[in-house]
Chain A
Amino acid sequence: MNALNSLIDGFGTALTPINLLWAAVGVLLGTAIGVLPGIGPAMAVALLLPVTYGLDPTGAFIMFAGIYYGAMFGGSTTSILLNTPGETAAVVAAIEGHPMAKSGRGAQALAAAAIGHFAGGLIGTILLVALAPTVADLAVGIGAPDYFAIMVLAFIAVTSVLGSSRIRGLASLLIGLTIGLVGLDQMTGQQRLTFGTLQLADGIDVVIVAVGLFAIGEALWIAAHLRRTTGDAIPVGRPWLGRSELRRSWKPWLRGPVIGFPFGAIPAGGAEIPTFLSYVTEKRLSRHKNEFGKGAVEGVAGPESAASASAAGTLVSMLTLGLPTTAVAAVMLAAFQQYGIQPGPLLFEREPDLVWGLIASLFVGMVLLLALNLPLAPVWAKLLRIPRPYLYAGILFFAAVGAYAVGGEAFDLVILLVIGLIGFGMRRYGLPVLPAVIGVILGPAAEQQLRRALQISDGSVTGLVNTPFSVTVYVIVALLLAWPLLKKLLPGRRTETADSGQPEE
C-alpha cells in the first residue's frame, strides 16, 4: 500500500508541534466562525489569505483545512441552539436539532452532531486517502487540452448546477472572467483593461477579489438589511448521549458519508444537497417516523455526518484535478496560486509532503474537534451574543488588513471597495457569487491552457478534443447543459427533492 506509507509520512509532517498548533488554531477559528452569524467558511479562508505571505504552505493549508471542517461543525451549533443556520450545509440540522433543543435535549442534539461530524469526516477522509492517488494516477498524463476541458467543466457546472437561474450564474461568471482579464497578458505582455494605469498592470490580486466579494460584499449587504432583533440562543450544558440515542444514531452516522462524499466530489453545491438527501433517507428508514419534525436524533446525526464527508469529497476534486466544487475550495485554490503551486494530478508527485501532511492533518483536526468541542459547546453558544456592530465592523477591518497586506498599496483598498460594491449588487439581484470567484481564479489559467493547446495543434480546433479524457469531460459538460431538457423528459420522482433541495443560498 503506497498510499498508506505516504500517509504515515504525512503524519510525520502533521504531528510536528508547529503544524499541530496550526491545526488547533484552524479548528478553533473554524468553529468560532461557523458559530458566528454572517461569516461562512469561504469568507473566513478569504480573510485569512494574507497569512499565506508569512506562513509556509504546509502550515497554511493545515490551518485552512481545519477551518473548513471546524466551520461545518460550528454551523450546526447555531442551527440547533438558535434555529438560524449560518451555513447552507447546516439548514437541515435546524429541522430536528432545534426542536430537540427546545424540548431540553439540546445537549444530546449537539453530541449527535459532533460525533456525526467526526464519523463523517473520518470515513470521508479515509475515502480520500483511498481514492485520491488513484484519481491522480489516472489523470497524470493529461495535457493542455484536458486542463482546459476540466476548467470548462468547472465553469459550466458552477453556473448550471448551483442557484436557481442559469442566466444569472453566467452573468456572474462573465463578471469574474472580465476581472481576470485585467492586467498584462501572460503570454505576450499585452496590456488589457488597464487603461494605462500602473496599478492595474499587475492585474487585480485574487485575494482582493475573494475578500471583496465574500467579505465586503456580504458585510455591506447585511448592513443594509440588519435584523434589529436577534433571537436568543437556548442555554445548553455539556453535550452527551444516552444509550437509546446512541442506538438510534450509529447507523445514520455511517450512512451519511455514503451520501455526502460523492456529492462533495462533484460540482453540485457542496453539502447542501447531500444533507437534505441524508435527512430524507433517515426519515424513510427510521422506526420513529412520528418523531420527525419534533426532534428526532437521526435527523441530526445523518445529515451532519454527510456534511463532513462532503468536505472530504470536495478535497478529492480540488487536490487531484484542481477543480473547485465549493466556495471554500475555490478560495483554497487561490491560496495554492499564491504559493505558485498548481493543484492537479501532478500535485501528488511534486508536493507529496504538502499533500500528505494536509491529509494527515485532517485526521488530527477531527480528533481535535471532537476533543475540544464536546466540552466547549457552552462557550461557543456564548459567542452568539456578540454585538452585531462589532462583528461586521470587525469583518470590514480584517478585510482592509488583508487587501492592504497584498501589496502595501492604499489603492488596493479602493479596488476592494469597488469589488465589494459589485458583490453587494450581486446579492441584491440574486447573482450567485461563486461563479464570479471561479471565473477570476480559473479564467487566466483556462486562457493559457486554451492557447497552449491551440498552439500545439497549430490553430486547429480539433486540438481541444484529441484526447479521450477531454472528450469524456466534454460529454459531461454536454449532459449538464442538456440537464433541464432531460429533467423534463423524466418527470415525477425528482420533484420532491427539487422543491425543497435548495432552502437558501
Chain B
Amino acid sequence: MTSHDNRTAEEPTGKPAAEPAGRRAWLREHSELGVCVLLLALGVLVLTDALTMDVDISQRGPVGPRTVPIAIGIGLLLIAALLAVDVLRGGRGEAEGGEDIDLAEPADWRTVLLLAGVFLATAVLIDPLGFPVAGALLFWGAAFALGSRRLDRDPLIAAVLSVATYGLFNNLLGVPLPGGPLMGVL
C-alpha cells in the first residue's frame, strides 16, 4: 500500500547530501503531517468556540449546546496526535485511484488552481451576469483548464448547456435561477 503512494509524491531528490535538501525531502515524504496540523487547528477552533460561548443558565436539559462541540474538539486533538504518530511510524494514506486517474504522473497543480479560479469567478459573476452567462463561462473555462482547445465547439456547447439548464430548472422544475441582463433582453 505504501509503495502505491510513493509514486504520487514526487521522487525525493536523491540522497540527503545537503542539510536543507534533506529536510525538504523529509517534509515531502511526511507531507501528511500537514493533515495533522489542520486537524489540530480545527480542534482548537471548535474548542475555543465552544468554551467562549455564553450559555444561558436556563438551558434546557442537563446537556447544553457546549457538550457535543467540546467532545468533538477533544476528539479532533486526539486524532491529530494519533495520525501524527502513525505518519512518523511510516503509515501513509493511500491516494485514491479511479478509471481516469493516473497516479504515476505527478499532480498537475496548475489545472487544479485554474479550475478553482474559474469556479470562484463564477461565484462572483453569477449575481451581476445571471446564470446563463456565468454558467456558460464556468463550463467553457473549466473545459479550457482541462485541456480542451476547440474554440469553434467549446463556447457553443457551453452556451447551449447553460441556457438549457436555466430553462429546465427555472421554468420546468420551478427552482429559480437568476436570469441576469441577458434574459431581460430576450
Contacts and interface: CB of A to CB of B under 8 A. Distances in A.
Interface of A: 37-38, 50-51, 53-55, 78, 82, 84-86, 164-165, 167-168, 170-171, 174-175, 177-178, 181, 185, 187-188, 190-193, 216, 218-228, 230, 387-390, 392-394, 396-398, 400-401, 404-405, 408, 410-411, 413-414, 417, 420-421, 424-425, 427-431, 447, 450-452, 454-455, 458-459, 504-505
A178 B42 contact: yes
A201 to B, nearest CB: 14
A454 B45 CA distance: 27
Contact of B143 (A53, A82, A224, A393): A393
Nearest to B165: A401
B35 interface: yes
27 contacts: A168-B83, A168-B93, A174-B75, A177-B72, A181-B46, A185-B65, A193-B49, A221-B96, A221-B101, A223-B108, A223-B146, A225-B105, A225-B108, A226-B146, A228-B102, A389-B144, A393-B140, A393-B143, A397-B139, A400-B122, A404-B177, A408-B177, A411-B123, A424-B112, A428-B95, A430-B94, A447-B68
A185 B67 CA distance: 12
Nearest to A401: B165
B111 A38 contact: no
B123 A410 contact: yes
B62 A455 contact: yes
B173 A55 contact: yes
A18 to B, nearest CB: 13
Interface of B, helix, strand, loop or mixed by DSSP: helix
A209 to B, nearest CB: 15
Interface of B: 1, 5, 8, 32, 35, 38-39, 42, 45-46, 49-50, 53, 55-56, 59-65, 67-69, 72, 75-76, 79-80, 82-83, 86, 91-103, 105, 107-109, 111-112, 115-116, 118-120, 122-124, 126-127, 131, 135, 138-140, 142-148, 157, 161-162, 165, 169, 172-178
B101 A227 contact: yes
B119 A400 contact: yes
Contacts of A458: 62
B43 to A, nearest CB: 8
A400 to B, nearest CB: 6
Interface of A, helix, strand, loop or mixed by DSSP: helix
Given A181-B68, A397-B142, A455 B92 contact: no
A389 B140 CA distance: 10
A190, A454, A505: residue with the most chain B Cβ atoms closer than 10 Å: A190
Given A38-B100, A174-B39, A450 B68 contact: yes
Given A187-B65, A410-B127, A451-B61, A430 B96 contact: yes
Contacts of A389: 142-144, 146-148
A455 B127 CA distance: 46
Contacts of A51: 173, 175
Given A427-B95, A450-B68, A417 B102 contact: no
Nearest to B93: A430
Contacts of A390: 143, 148, 157
Contacts of A452: 61
A185 B35 CA distance: 28
Nearest to B109: A224
Contact of B115 (A82, A86, A396): A396
A177 B122 CA distance: 29
B120 A417 contact: yes
Given A192-B49, A450-B68, A225 B107 contact: yes
Contacts of A164: 1, 94
Contacts of A424: 112
B120 A414 contact: yes
A410 B124 contact: yes
B102 A54 contact: no
Q: Which 10 A-B pairs have the closest CB atoms?
A: A430-B93, A459-B62, A54-B173, A393-B142, A413-B123, A389-B148, A389-B146, A455-B61, A185-B65, A84-B99
Contacts of B107: 224-225, 428
B76 A174 contact: yes
A427 B96 contact: yes
A99 to B, nearest CB: 18
